[in-house]
């Protein structure tokens, strides 16, 4: 099928002149949807000669990577997933050595190198610890893509400086490489690359009938030239690179027909439609009852105006994909559905409550404790997104629901940026400004893309609005498009003679909505803590200076004083 990721692989491994083979290697090419979401994994591990159990470490490292990597969250980036797996493997190997008779001699313990390459979409992600090597073949030359973690003592003495199982913590080299059809990568242990030269390797790959033959020829050549080590060769050829669309991640959902506008008291795909819940230019939401389970659900279908917009349809279907990967009482849950779906729509739990927008209309001057309670719940929901490497990107009062019991839930995930999906869909529209401009962080307008701190900004704006009924930069922020314009923005103090807001809370809000992401809070927990506990940095007079409370009045007063002084001086001069 055109547009799929396809590779060819050649492999060879032999003990060479040693008694046993302490190398281990493997490759895993999953079927869809994992192929699109997680990619292809190629691994190579090399044991250390001083250890009699190092071959166990090598086998464990490769097998763990090839299995555990595919068990990590689909929303995580390749880098996060691989680092978590390799760190866990390192901890296990280190613990095994500490429990064994080799606890005081790590050179005889469960130690090995590990080099892994994950090929996902149009990128090869290389992870490396030790002294195996990854090369990219270009013509008759090899470009080395990894560094050898060897400490050179002298021309005759060196030792491995970094390996799995050597220490309780591990530093992992990471390098992403853009790939194209026809690219060739070669992975070798030191028993091979120290003896087989570049010209021979390039010639063997170019002249062999298949990649397995080439790998075998390279290994035998290293042996012929006197290698006394184990010999392992892996050759990867990129045959086809996907176009980068997200269709494989979303299955065939986007191929389903679009539903008609629904009517009350009618059946639709196994649901009994009760009534409209919400209608906008983007979507229509209906209250429905599942005819099999009698459970109430919210059914969301695309609006008529956007049905010919593939980017919007893709984002709509991403909503359910995102919801199924987050488990939080403060995030909208997807509805369970076991039967086949015949139309393109999204089904979720029904929240019997009101939006935060309505809550603010009903509570124009809320007490600060109520605001804290709501903000804390929203923060818990956001934290669930960020732990899965997701950025909501459209946090606003309309996308926050409060049910009858006072539980806050974040809804509408159509703008959510998912690290793992963004890697698989580099051509998708993740850098568009998808949120509502009044709550959108400045970095989006500068084309820098969103991070968790962008969601922090939105939450800060919402907290400010709940307490003051206004926006921290008024309507000016929505008009800014350049860095210099944003630098000229001035925060409007939340302090007001008509509202009992402590001055230190104003300092917390000012930091939360800073134009510069680097000046915002580093974590949600820090923001929430400061919102409840006076921070010494923000403790000042409970009455802010007039310049902060009312700049216009301040400058009028200054102008009046200056005019009085000028008038006084003129009178004196004319006497």
Pairwise CA distance, residues 276 & 273, whole Å: 8
To the nearest whole number, what is the mean pLDDT of the chain? 89
| pLDDT, tens digit (0-9, with 9 covering 90-100), for 301-344 | 998 888 888 888 888 888 888 998 899 999 999 998 778 888 99
- Residue 562 banded pLDDT, cuts 50, 70, 90: confident
Q: What average pLDDT does this structure show over 147-174? A: 89
Residue 177 in this model has a pLDDT that exceeds 90: yes
C-alpha distances in Å from residue 2, one per residue of 236, 239, 496: 20, 11, 62
| pLDDT, tens digit (0-9, with 9 covering 90-100), for 244-286 | 444 444 544 556 889 999 999 999 999 999 999 998 888 999 9
Which of 158-172, 190-204, 541-555 has the least mean pLDDT?
541-555
Domain definitions of the chain by residue range: 6-240, 253-349, 353-541, 545-575
CATH class of this structure's domain 353-541: mainly alpha
CATH class of this structure's domain 253-349: alpha beta
Q: What average pLDDT does this structure show over 349-377? A: 96
pLDDT of residue 106: 80
Pairwise CA distance, residues 96 & 528, whole Å: 41
pLDDT of residue 430: 47
H/E stretch holding 185 reads strand 184-188
Pairwise CA distance, residues 66 & 26, whole Å: 8
pLDDT of residue 314: 82
Choose among 342, 339, 218, 197: nearest CA to 268. 342
Q: Angle of helix 452-468 relative to helix 368-387, nearest 10 degrees?
A: 170
Choose among 359, 455, 434: nearest CA to 398. 359
Residue 279, CB-side half-sphere exposure with 13 Å CA sphere: 8
pLDDT of residue 545: 59
- Residue 79 banded pLDDT, cuts 50, 70, 90: very high
Pairwise CA distance, residues 332 & 472, whole Å: 28
What 8-state DSSP symbol labels residue 333?
P
Residue 428 in this model has a pLDDT that exceeds 70: no
pLDDT of residue 559: 86
H/E stretch holding 80 reads helix 78-99
Pairwise CA distance, residues 123 & 422, whole Å: 12
pLDDT of residue 539: 77
Judge whether 253-349 and 353-541 match in fold.
no
Residue 479 in this model has a pLDDT that exceeds 80: no
Contacts of 575 (CB under 8 A, 6+ apart): none
Q: What is the pTM of this model?
A: 0.75
| pLDDT, tens digit (0-9, with 9 covering 90-100), for 116-145 | 999 998 899 999 999 999 999 988 889 999
Residue 543 in this model has a pLDDT that exceeds 80: no
Residue 300 β-bridge partners:
285, 346
CB 262 within 8 A of CB 286: yes
Q: What average pLDDT does this structure show over 494-515? A: 90
Choose among 2, 81, 10: nearest CA to 39. 81
Pairwise CA distance, residues 73 & 385, whole Å: 12
Residue reference for tokens 């962008």: 454
% of the chain at pLDDT higher than 70: 92
Q: Assign 130 to helix, strand or coil.
A: coil
End-to-end CA distance of the chain: give it in Å, rounded.
98
pLDDT of residue 549: 54
What 8-state DSSP symbol labels residue 517?
G
% of the chain at pLDDT higher than 90: 66
CB 48 within 8 A of CB 111: yes
Pairwise CA distance, residues 97 & 166, whole Å: 9
Pairwise CA distance, residues 321 & 420, whole Å: 12
For Cα atoms 280, 286, 290, give the angle at the middle one, nearest 5 degrees: 160
pLDDT of residue 107: 84
Residue 542 in this model has a pLDDT that exceeds 70: no
H/E stretch holding 177 reads strand 173-178
Contacts of 523 (CB under 8 A, 6+ apart): none
Q: Assign 178 to helix, strand or coil.
A: strand
pLDDT of residue 138: 86
Q: Angle of helix 503-512 relative to helix 452-468, nearest 10 degrees?
A: 140
- Residue 205 banded pLDDT, cuts 50, 70, 90: very high
CB 445 within 8 A of CB 479: no
Q: Count Cβ atoms below 10 Å from residue 457 Cβ, excluding itself.
A: 26
CATH class of this structure's domain 6-240: alpha beta
C-alpha distances in Å from residue 444, one per residue of 143, 327, 372, 382, 448: 37, 27, 27, 18, 6
Pairwise CA distance, residues 107 & 104, whole Å: 9
Read off the tokens for 30: 């999953």
């Amino acid at each position: 099928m055109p547009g799929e990721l396809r590779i060819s692989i050649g492999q060879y491994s032999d003990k060479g002149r040693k008694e046993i083979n302490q190398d281990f290697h493997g490759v895993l090419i999953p079927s869809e949807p994992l192929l699109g979401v997680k990619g292809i994994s190629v691994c190579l591990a090399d044991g250390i000669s001083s250890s009699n159990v190092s071959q166990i470490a090598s086998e464990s490292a490769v097998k763990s990577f090839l299995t555990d990597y595919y068990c990590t969250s689909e929303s995580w980036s390749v880098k996060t997933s691989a680092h978590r797996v390799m760190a866990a493997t390192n901890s296990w190997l280190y613990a095994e050595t500490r429990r064994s008779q080799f606890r005081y001699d790590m050179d005889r313990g469960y130690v090995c190198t590990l080099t892994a390459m994950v090929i996902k979409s149009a990128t090869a992600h290389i992870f490396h610890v030790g002294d195996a090597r990854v090369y990219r073949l270009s013509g008759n030359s090899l470009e080395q893509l990894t560094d050898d973690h060897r400490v050179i003592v002298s021309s005759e003495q060196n030792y491995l400086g970094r390996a799995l199982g050597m220490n309780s913590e591990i530093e992992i080299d990471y390098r992403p490489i853009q790939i194209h059809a026809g690219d060739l990568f070669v992975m070798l242990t030191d028993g091979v690359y120290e003896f087989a030269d570049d010209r021979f390797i390039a010639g063997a790959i170019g002249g062999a009938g298949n990649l397995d033959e080439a790998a075998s020829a390279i290994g035998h050549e290293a042996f012929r030239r006197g290698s006394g080590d184990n010999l392992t060769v892996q050759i990867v050829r990129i045959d086809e690179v996907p176009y980068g669309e997200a269709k494989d991640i979303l299955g065939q959902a986007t191929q389903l027909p679009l539903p008609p506008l629904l009517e009350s008291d009618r059946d639709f795909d196994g649901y009994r439609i009760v009534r409209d819940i919400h209608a906008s230019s983007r979507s229509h939401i209906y209250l429905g009852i599942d005819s099999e389970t009698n459970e109430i659900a919210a059914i969301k279908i695309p609006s008529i105006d956007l049905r010919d917009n593939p980017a919007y349809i893709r984002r709509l279907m991403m909503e359910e994909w995102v919801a199924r990967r987050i488990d939080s009482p403060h995030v909208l849950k997807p509805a369970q559905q076991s039967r086949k779906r015949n139309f393109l729509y999204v089904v979720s739990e029904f929240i019997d409550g009101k939006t935060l927008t309505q809550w603010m209309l009903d509570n124009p001057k809320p007490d600060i404790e109520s605001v804290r309670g709501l903000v804390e719940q929203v923060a818990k929901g956001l934290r669930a997104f960020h732990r899965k490497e997701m950025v909501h990107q459209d946090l606003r009062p309309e996308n926050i629901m409060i049910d009858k019991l006072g539980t806050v839930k974040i809804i509408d995930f159509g703008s959510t940026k998912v690290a793992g999906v963004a890697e698989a869909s580099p051509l998708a529209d993740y850098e568009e400004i998808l949120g509502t401009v009044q709550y959108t962080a400045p970095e989006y307008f500068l084309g820098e893309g969103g991070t968790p701190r962008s969601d922090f900004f939105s939450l800060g704006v919402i907290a400010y609005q709940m307490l003051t009924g206004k926006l921290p930069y008024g309507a000016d922020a929505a008009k800014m498009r350049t860095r210099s314009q944003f630098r000229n923005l001035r925060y409007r103090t939340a302090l007001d003679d008509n509202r009992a807001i402590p001055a230190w809370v104003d300092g917390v809000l000012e930091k939360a909505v800073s134009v510069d992401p680097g000046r915002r809070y580093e974590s949600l927990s820090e923001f929430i803590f400061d919102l409840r506990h006076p921070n010494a940095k923000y403790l000042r007079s409970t009455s802010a200076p007039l310049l902060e409370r009312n700049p216009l009045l301040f400058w009028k007063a200054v102008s009046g004083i200056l005019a009085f002084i000028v008038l006084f001086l003129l009178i004196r001069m004319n006497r």
